[in-house]
Amino acid sequence: MATWAVSIGVTDRADKRVTVTGTRTDGEDIRSYTAAAQVDTGNLQASLRAVMDTLFARYTAEVAAEAADAALISGWEDTAATYLDGLET
């Protein structure tokens, strides 16, 4: 099961702006995402959820893009190697 480690740094105290970095670890797969946010001191939970949703959306978009790339070139490397090997003979 994957786990997340989160660090939050204040970038502008007057404007209540922070930078949040989330690092997702799943075995050897380690990915980091960063997002900037403005904290609504009247609704801290909503501010937190919004930035966490942003980090998770970036993760899911990256995984979807990798899956699309893999589907596009599925089997090509082996086929290409076989073809090139055939040219050697």
- Confidence (pLDDT) at 78: 87
Domain boundaries, the chain: 3-88
What confidence category does residue 70 fall into, taking pLDDT thresholds of 50, 70 and 90? Answer: very high
What pTM, to 2 d.p., does this model score? 0.82
Of 25, 28, 36, give the one whose Cα is nearest residue 59. Answer: 25
| 25-59 pLDDT, tens digit each | 999 999 999 999 999 999 999 999 999 999 999 99
Over residues 53-66, the mean pLDDT reads 98
Residue partners of 17: CB distance under 8 A and separation at least 6:
10, 11, 36, 37, 38, 39
DSSP 62: H
